[in-house]
Amino acid sequence: MATSRRANRATAPDRAGTPHSCFEFPATVEIADRVGCGVLEPTRFLTISVTGAAAAALPPTWGQLCIWQWHGIVDQDEAVFDNGQSCHVCYYIPDGCDLDTLADAIGQVLHSHDALRTTLEIADGELAGQLIAGSGEFPIEIHVSDPGDAESVADTIAKELSARPWTCREWPVRVSVVTVAGRPDFIVTAYNRLLIDVQSMESVIDEMSKLASGRGGELVPRWQSGQETRHELAPAGAAISDRAVRYWRTVLTQCPPSMFDFPPPPPDELRYVMAEMQSISLARAVRVLRKRWRVPEAALVLGALALVLGQHTGHRAAVVQLFAGNRTDRDRRRMLGTLLSEGLMHIDLTGASFAVIARGAAKAISAANQFAYCDPAAVAAVREEIQLSRGAFLDLAVYYNDMQTGQEALDQSDPVEPEPEERSANGSGLSAPDTWSGWDRAWQAKVTRKDIRLLLTAQHGATMPLLLFCDTAYLSRETMRLLLCGMERLLVAAASSGDVDGADLASVTGVPEVARDAGWVRLATGWVDVAATSEVWRTVTGSEACAVMVEEDADGHRLVGYLASAAQPLFAELHQQFVAAIRGRDDTRAPATYRWVATVPARPEDAAAWARERVLSEDDGRG
């Protein structure tokens, strides 16, 4: 089987099935209704027996743990994963390859690659290990098609094959073959993203192609999932993880605890919404700025996103997570399995101009990719530690996914500067902004185990499609439109005029800040609802003889928790209870310090009155 392919929507992952994403958009209702309708039943099955392969029982890899945190779902005793419909790859098989040769190639690949024979071990609803089978039976569906229909049949089979729910007891790849006049015409593969990512499937198909065409393949992979596990458990892997966790600790200590510390809007009935923008002007602006400033396109888009989100939420910095592929060396570039993880970025928005912010975004991307490869359990432990020390729930629910799709074609075909006949009235060649494309899809229920408030996927190309997925319980549809259009206006203005000064950023983007009433107070790294915080403090202490007040300090303001009681309070215990009580909340934080006072002042609503009370003891409760 040669490597040439027919033009087919399934030859590359759908836009939601990005090579660098932990996230998979579920199918729309219309597509889901067609799945499993029985229209394209296989005419027969071909079974491949695998024997004598390597077998092992190992702990999960970091990549497996990460993707499980996103998608692992347990239904009673059976672990089930719904891929959606974009986890498939479909290739054309040129003349000269018969079904027996193709089946032999598939068998050799299954025997060689441990990841294709791996199942997951679940304990108490969580991922506990991976089991690599040394033998097993692998079925291949055979479909028959007329010559003119083979491509559409393959495309439909690919979607159905991927959309069938997976169990963790099933090998993570499925194969169907579409035959025409007795010979294979298309090979269709679907894969379980808990164990296999799209880069892996591209390697699988490439190796099958070489074997089936008699050119040989890499039958002894340099690096397998079992080796990856052992490396992560070894001292060398632990040292890499420890270094990365130190970076996470630094960022989590400094970044805003949440980008959503404001009164939430009423959600839509279909709560989770995706909007799309396609803009030639934005794409050209990004190319111009990349050449002019020597800043990667991904950083320009990220910088624009961080800025408009910061403008809307009233933050001087943004915290965003990045999907990292972690395929940075030769061994892992060819490894079959999943290596995806999350990187953390802290982007300063107080720069003197957009160019400064974009360069900061480039550094943040570099650091996030460098330190994304680590043990998710260690990151979770540090997150819990920092939540306790900062007295705030760390709501890391903003994600950025850069796909780099079509960038080569754009670089070769589109000029850096516009041709004279393309120049507009302002001489920039960049057309008027606000290229709004509208709403793409919406869902009523949560689409992943993790909470996503905002996810921006950037696809590079002639129109640079931007897909913005948001939870409307935090960001309304109108806000989503304003964010996308603000990004476009910013990038076009920067490309047209050379840069945008910090003083002009708000007027250029046109993104308004969310409304907060007088009960909200800005702290050094965000906002807090003082009344809501006082209510939590009363609940934690079980007393009405207490209050949370705002005091000025070197960073602006801080919260002080007062408690009047006969016995000395144990502030360390009360602080732990406070942090536990606000888990999942963006509107409150624990006080920076706690004071035990003798009595409640005559005017308990007056911060100055509390401050005049005699303080019996003071403690920050952090231990």
CATH number of the domain bearing residue 487: 3.30.559.30
- Residue in 138, 169, 145 with CA at minimum distance from that of residue 90: 145
The pLDDT tens digits of the residues spanning 288-333 come to: 999 999 999 999 999 999 999 999 999 999 999 999 989 888 888 8
pLDDT value, residue 171: 95
Q: The CATH number of the domain where 574 resides is what? A: 3.30.300.30
The pLDDT tens digits of the residues spanning 138-180 come to: 999 999 999 889 989 999 998 888 888 888 889 999 999 999 9
**Residue 467 resides in a domain:** yes
Do 487 and 527 lie in one domain? The reply is no
Do 503 and 546 lie in one domain? The reply is no
As a whole number, mean pLDDT of residues 392-409 equals 78
Query: Is there a contact between 591 and 577 (Cβ–Cβ < 8 Å)?
Result: no
The pLDDT tens digits of the residues spanning 217-270 come to: 555 677 899 999 999 999 999 999 999 999 999 999 999 999 999 999 999 999
pLDDT value, residue 200: 82
**Residue 295 resides in a domain:** yes
**Residue 444 resides in a domain:** yes
Q: Is the pLDDT of residue 429 over 60?
A: no
Q: Which helix or strand (DSSP H or E) is residue 546 part of?
A: strand 546-553
Amino acid at 210: K
Do 491 and 536 lie in one domain? The reply is no
Residues 218 and 207: their CA atoms lie apart, in Å, by: 7
Q: The CATH number of the domain where 120 resides is what? A: 3.30.559.10
Paired residues of 347 in beta bridges: 318
Query: Is there a contact between 451 and 473 (Cβ–Cβ < 8 Å)?
Result: no
Q: Which of 198-207, 217-226, 508-517, 551-560 has the lowest mean pLDDT?
A: 217-226
Mean pLDDT of the chain: 85
Q: Is the pLDDT of residue 518 over 60?
A: yes
Query: Is there a contact between 5 and 13 (Cβ–Cβ < 8 Å)?
Result: no
How many separate domains does the chain show?
3
**Residue 434 resides in a domain:** yes
Do 248 and 107 lie in one domain? The reply is no
Residues 155 and 208: their CA atoms lie apart, in Å, by: 19
576 φ, ψ to 5°?
-60, -40
Residues 511 and 486: their CA atoms lie apart, in Å, by: 6
Q: How confident is the model at residue 27 (pLDDT cuts 50, 70, 90)?
A: very low
Do 350 and 450 lie in one domain? The reply is yes
pLDDT value, residue 86: 60
What percentage of the chain carries pLDDT values higher than 90?
Answer: 64
As a whole number, mean pLDDT of residues 365-374 equals 96
pLDDT value, residue 428: 41
Do 499 and 539 lie in one domain? The reply is no
Do 264 and 305 lie in one domain? The reply is yes
The pLDDT tens digits of the residues spanning 71-129 come to: 877 654 555 656 555 677 787 887 778 898 899 999 999 999 999 999 999 888 889 99
Q: Is the pLDDT of residue 440 over 80?
A: no
Paired residues of 443 in beta bridges: 272
Do 391 and 363 lie in one domain? The reply is yes
**Residue 228 resides in a domain:** no
Query: Is there a contact between 357 and 328 (Cβ–Cβ < 8 Å)?
Result: no
- State the pTM of this model: 0.87
**Residue 2 resides in a domain:** no
pLDDT value, residue 546: 97
pLDDT value, residue 445: 82
Strand order in the sheet with 88-92: 44-50, 136-144, 173-180, 183-191, 88-92
Do 478 and 582 lie in one domain? The reply is no
**Residue 177 resides in a domain:** yes
Do 435 and 502 lie in one domain? The reply is yes
Radius of gyration of the chain (CA): 27
As a whole number, mean pLDDT of residues 411-428 equals 40
The pLDDT tens digits of the residues spanning 37-51 come to: 334 788 888 999 999
Q: How confident is the model at residue 34 (pLDDT cuts 50, 70, 90)?
A: very low
Q: Is the pLDDT of residue 529 over 60?
A: yes
Do 497 and 535 lie in one domain? The reply is no
469 φ, ψ to 5°?
-100, 130
Query: Is there a contact between 209 and 174 (Cβ–Cβ < 8 Å)?
Result: no
Do 505 and 529 lie in one domain? The reply is no
Q: Which structural domain, as residue segments, surrounds residue 21?
A: 9-219
Distance between start and end Cα atoms, the chain: 65
Question: Tokens standing for 48?
Answer: 């491949």
Domain boundary among 479, 509, 539: 509
Domain boundary among 448, 478, 509: 509
Q: Which of 121-135, 187-201, 569-583 has the lowest mean pLDDT?
A: 187-201
The pLDDT tens digits of the residues spanning 2-14 come to: 322 333 333 333 3
Domain boundary among 464, 482, 509: 509
pLDDT value, residue 4: 29
**Residue 28 resides in a domain:** yes
pLDDT value, residue 474: 97
